[in-house]
Structure 1
Amino acid sequence: MMKNYIQYTKALALLFFFAFVSCDQDTSPTDAVEEKEVFKTVEGSEKVLNGSWGQLMETYYTYANPGFGSFLRTSDAMGNDAVLQTNKYGFGNHYQFSALYGKGGTNTHSWNLSYKTINNMNNILAYIDNSKGDAGEKRRIKGQAYALRGFMYLHLASSYAFAIDKDPNALAVPIYLKPTTVDTQPAKRSTVREVYNQALADLEEALVLIPEGYVRKQKFQIDYSVVLGLLSRANLYARNWEKARDYSDRLLAKNDYLMTETEYKSGFNDVANREWIWGHPQTPDQSNASYQFHYLDVTSKDSYYYSFNADPYFKDLFEDGDYRKSMINWAPDPSADIEKASVVWMRYGKFKFKAGQLADMVLMRTSEIYLINAEAKAQLNDGDAINKLNEVKRARHAALVSNLAGKDLLEAIWLERRKELFGEGFALVDIVRNQKAVVRKKYENNKVEYAYVVRDANGNEETKTKIMTANGHYALNFPDQSPFVANSPYYLYQIPNVEERENPNL
């Protein structure tokens, strides 16, 4: 509950500083000080800001839960298109819908990380106006604190409640706007609309405060474009179509770059990619978040688990010529002895480790903004919607669409989101916000001919084939054996037991 949480994070959670120097994040505490001392200078507030980001992205709960990325992995594991490998570690219970509903570790991890981050931002906002330092830096850091708090409330609004238009007055999660202490009374739950409105208000304030000309040193830092992207995303989820259109229009006017085929096939592991608007860098010394690629990377021998495979039917959604389709193929485990292997999974080679088991984490891409823009305009019957959808398809060498409107156009946009954003954390969020049901189908053709190359001692190559058992979806209903339906409580994060037990105001 919030009281336990407050005591655990006493005086700010105060403070696990993570110093970001160049790309380095010191993930061990460097100091624990009185909060008034920390916030006497602008530099101190920026340390809290950067430290909170490092804590959010790098903190383990279990090895299946490395930081905020674990919530993105959860969303995809519970969607239509990822098939979790049965004999590999990580997110299998999420795939089978027992983790969140059973109040497993991800619930606690999400709750603690979200409210720790919110509390740290509340402390920055409470003290920074009276701190010493450059007024422009003060304004920028204040804006970034609002943006990060808004980002966390967006996560809470879209994960702990059904779509806003199902019941905007349904209870969601508490809102805290001031620093908490051991004497703070735990808050009651706010409504879905109130939590979305808080996220939007924070992001709007951030857009006012962060200079449009601010040039960040690293891509994890929140700049003007990131805030425009978050406002586009948040307004889409809150079904504010005009604002989602307007903010995404503004962002695309600043940056409309879509990566090339070569860039797309390079592994989704590098923040230097021009299409990445926001990402979390990794270095040999600061690499906790890279652990997620042990799930996402299903084609490299460096990967331990390679568990996020694709539904065989997912490949059929891509037209011939779309280079994304060429990245999806049957294959055994990357570490398997091919002569002994008997099982294959549909491997999507989208995510690949860099050398040294490092991989930067993508948080926002221009393609998402195109698709937000397309969806908002489709909802507004704006003819430019199909153009924006086709821009993404054209960049991927996919067949363009024409003569679509209304629900058919929306369905095409939602399908493109599934294809383009696979593995980036949007699957279940999209299902919930659009009030859809998870759709999975058993793969009936469970035997496939697999071709592979063997080399003899002299380096001569020979192509062989063998019949292998092909795997598709195996979790085809909820744990109680009921069918997948829209607006199921199995889809939602649950408030942890300790919070329910000790917060009398819920």
Structure 2
Amino acid sequence: MNKLIYKITLMAMLVFSFASCKKFLEKEPIGKVGKQVLFEDVNGAQLGLVGAYRLVLDYNRDEFGMHGDVASDNMVYTPTPAAQFMGQSFNFSSTPEDDALVTGHIWLSVFEALNNVNNVLNALPALKEKFPDQLSQIETIEGQALVLRALCHFDLSKVYAQPYNFTADASHLGVPVLTKTPSPGENVVRRSMKQTYDQILLDITSALPLLNKYNNFTNQALVNYQAALGLLSRVYLYKGDWQNCLNTSNLVIADTRYKLATATEYKSLYSTYTPNANTSSTKSEILFQLSGASIEKVSITELNVIFASQYGASSKLLNTFDADDIRKTQLFNTLNSPRIYTTKYTAGAYAIKVVRLSEVYLNRAEANWNLKKYDDAKEDLRVISQRAHPNQTINIGNPSPDDLYRLIAEERNRELCFEGHRLYDLVRRKESLTRGVDCNSTVCTLTYPNDKFVLPITTKELDANKGMKQNPGYN
């Protein structure tokens, strides 16, 4: 962590690299003085928030955004030198020495974003006193930043810690919980998974009244009230808090400003960037997306190259779609058969979907199932399946509870594949990883529980910070 502290202190959140403040930052010395100057007024805090969004976008378009699918049963790879970029994830071969590979990059890039968010949040109390007439703008910044901080901690916990229910009381290792930038030389420890989630939930629930108070912006590239609720429903899902997952999902689904895309609109969710879709005449199912187009012209080429030409869909995934499912006919490039790639990320794309309304329906379906509200769970499942089959009338029938659970899990993967969920869904459900007959990884099966489901902490991090603990299985 000291290595991390050194890097992020050196940058002192001056790694924004967006055009609107590049010249301003070039004029300021790096370090404490730069931060003080940046946060002299509310406009500086707004710039800091934009920088935080950019860094969250960056780690999502790089290794973190790929790891959840590449390390799952959804993918096979085309042997090329470039495909080895994510080879450690695909083959579960990461080691503590991989400081310059997936293990080190995800750790550092998420903490860089977290550092920026904390610098923004820690500057706001003074700005509230100094500029009371700008309280609405400051509180709007605060609400967004709190959710971004929760997202950073949540994303870290998915990669470097076993799922919340790994131990009965979530007492196993989580991740460092940071609400301010650590001082150089300060040892930072990992908190328990319960403590990690406590902070995540505190940040989102603290943000909700602020975002609801100023719930008048619809730019999908900004965190608003509905986006925070959608993320909260996911956190409760991962925690296994079924009633709160249900309650939160209900609030999102009941909001008439959002609706599921129709079958004819579905493909355009991925091929068209619409930053302000939720107007009085046009509604969308996108609650929150990370978009370089709203910050500067930053493409998500990394995801496109990896998912559209190097890591293709596995036969196991493709076989879960029937022939009439529009998700198979519209979002896969069948011209490349026998290697078939997703087209969710196209050349020149600028947006990564973080929370969609369809996910919230599936969150609610799983919560309803766990609460033994099987009819309600079937209806949520039917809604998502019906949208994917516009030329059929979907009837779920009367499956057994076990079969219904399987149907919900399969529908979730069909709907959310290549959007960063699959590995984490498997492990939170305590399921083993079993790749299909076309598996060309060195690891085709991992039985739950398994140390390999999480990445190690790098040796350099451990050497620099004596308070840090390694994940089991990597000592």
TM-score range, shorter chain: 0.7 to 0.9
1:324 alignment partner, SS class: helix
Alignment partner of 1:388 out of 372, 380, 383: 380
Would you say the 8 A contact 1:147–1:203 is kept in 2?
A: yes
Alignment partner of 1:367 out of 358, 380, 395: 358
Would you say the 8 A contact 1:76–1:82 is kept in 2?
A: yes
Q: Does 1:72 align with 2:62?
A: no
Superposition pairs for residues 124-273 of structure 1, below 5 Å?
Answer: 124-131=120-127, 132-133=130-131, 134-167=134-167, 168-182=170-184, 185-216=186-217, 218-254=219-255, 255-266=257-268, 268-272=270-274
Alignment partner of 1:289 out of 277, 300, 318: 300
| Partner residue, 2:104 | 108
Q: Does 1:404 align with 2:399?
A: yes
| Partner residue, 2:313 | 310
| AA of the residue aligned to 2:301 | S
The farther-off stretch of 381-390 and 84-93 is 84-93
Superposition pairs for residues 415-494 of structure 1, below 5 Å?
Answer: 415-442=410-437, 472-475=438-441, 477=443, 483-494=445-456
Alignment partner of 1:277 out of 287, 297, 300: 287
Would you say the 8 A contact 1:40–1:130 is kept in 2?
A: no
Structure 1: give runs of 5+ residues left out of the alignment: 59-65, 298-305, 333-343, 443-471
| AA of the residue aligned to 2:171 | N
In structure 2, relative to structure 1, the CA distance for the partners of 1:325 and 1:358 (3 Å cut) is closer
| AA of the residue aligned to 2:338 | W
Would you say the 8 A contact 2:246–2:367 is kept in 1?
A: yes
Task: Note the alpha carbon deviations across 1:289-330, whole angstroms, 9 max, x for none.
Answer: 333211223xxxxxxxx1131112322212332222334575
What is the CA–CA distance in structure 1 between the aligned matches of 2:77 and 2:141, rounded to whole Å? 40
Task: Note the alpha carbon deviations across 1:134-184, whole angstroms, 9 max, x for none.
Answer: 01111111111111110111112222111212211111221122232325x
Q: If the length of structure 1 is used for normalisation, what is the TM-score?
A: 0.80
Q: Does 1:347 align with 2:340?
A: yes
What is the CA–CA distance in structure 1 between the aligned matches of 2:383 and 2:193, rounded to whole Å? 33
Higher strand share: 1
| AA of the residue aligned to 1:6 | I
Higher helix share: 2
What is the CA–CA distance in structure 2 between the aligned matches of 1:400 and 1:26, rounded to whole Å? 55
In structure 2, relative to structure 1, the CA distance for the partners of 1:368 and 1:28 (3 Å cut) is farther
| Partner residue, 2:43 | 43
| AA of the residue aligned to 1:84 | Y
Superposition pairs for residues 85-104 of structure 1, below 5 Å?
Answer: 85-87=78-80, 88-89=82-83, 90-99=85-94, 103=98
Q: Displacement of 1:99 after TM fit?
A: 3.5
Q: Displacement of 1:367 after TM fit?
A: 0.8
1:193 alignment partner, SS class: helix
CA-based RMSD: 2.6
| AA of the residue aligned to 2:322 | E
Q: Identity over aligned residues, as a percent?
A: 23
| Partner residue, 2:3 | 4
Would you say the 8 A contact 2:358–2:384 is kept in 1?
A: yes
Structure 2: give runs of 5+ residues left out of the alignment: 278-283, 469-475
Task: Note the alpha carbon deviations across 1:381-435, whole angstroms, 9 max, x for none.
Answer: 1231111111000100174422135332222111111111111000111111111
Would you say the 8 A contact 2:143–2:210 is kept in 1?
A: yes
In structure 2, relative to structure 1, the CA distance for the partners of 1:415 and 1:101 (3 Å cut) is farther
In structure 2, relative to structure 1, the CA distance for the partners of 1:32 and 1:433 (3 Å cut) is farther
Q: Displacement of 1:372 after TM fit?
A: 0.5
Q: Displacement of 1:256 after TM fit?
A: 5.0
1:477 alignment partner, SS class: coil
Would you say the 8 A contact 2:97–2:460 is kept in 1?
A: no
Q: Displacement of 1:38 after TM fit?
A: 1.9
1:189 alignment partner, SS class: coil
What is the CA–CA distance in structure 2 between the aligned matches of 1:175 and 1:389, rounded to whole Å? 36
Structure showing greater radius of gyration is 1
What is the CA–CA distance in structure 2 between the aligned matches of 1:436 and 1:100, rounded to whole Å? 23
Task: Note the alpha carbon deviations across 1:214-236, whole angstroms, 9 max, x for none.
Answer: 33363221111110011011111
Q: Displacement of 1:30 after TM fit?
A: 4.7
What is the CA–CA distance in structure 2 between the aligned matches of 1:276 and 1:498, rounded to whole Å? 39
What is the CA–CA distance in structure 2 between the aligned matches of 1:352 and 1:12, rounded to whole Å? 31
